[in-house]
Amino acid sequence: MLAAANFSFVLNDGAIYGYFSTVGLQALDLYDGDAAPPPILDGAPHRASGRILHELLERYFSGAAVSFCEIPVDLESGTPFQQSVWRAIIEIPYGNWTTYGALARRIGKPRAARAVGMALGANPVSIVAPCHRVLAANGGLGGFSAGLHWKKRLLELEKIPFLE
């Protein structure tokens, strides 16, 4: 969770708060409606990117197929392995999915499915780097750092089938 944010997007039953560094989107956290929000910082680097992100999230949550590739991301908080996983999931298109094992093979680490899952759990910019599009080999949900209810919601929004 963020200590402070300079981006917010409010939903009926939750909110999304984020932080833009001078490089790009550095964090994007999903909050439930009853969670206390982080303090909002005045001023924001990448103010234009924040407006674009807000517009994209509006379209996304209204059910439109959206790509977040216009949003610059700052993934420097991760290890080189985590960064490789996060960059790979950014390439998964809206409405598509992959498995932890297939993602491990895609990044050249075929025996690292579990490590891929751990990297996804540390993903700082969920939705923009769509870790919800990664499922277990049997089509099950696996995990999701913001809670499985968020993962289900995002998968259902994109009409991606999954097993509970």
Full-model pTM: 0.93
Looking at residue 6, its pLDDT comes to: 87
Distance CA 39, CA 157 (A): 29
* Amino acid identity for residue 56 in this structure: L
Looking at residue 36, its pLDDT comes to: 85
The catalytically annotated residue of 25, 53, 131, 146 is 131
3-state secondary structure of 42: coil
Q: Any idea where the domains of the chain sit in the sequence?
A: 7-61, 80-157
28-37 pLDDT, tens digit per residue, is: 999 998 888 8
* Amino acid identity for residue 64 in this structure: A
Which fold is adopted by the domain 80-157?
Answer: Arc Repressor Mutant, subunit A (1.10.10)
Whether residue 69 lies in the annotated active site: no
110-120 pLDDT, tens digit per residue, is: 999 999 999 99
Q: Between residues 42 and 62, which one has the greater pLDDT?
A: 62
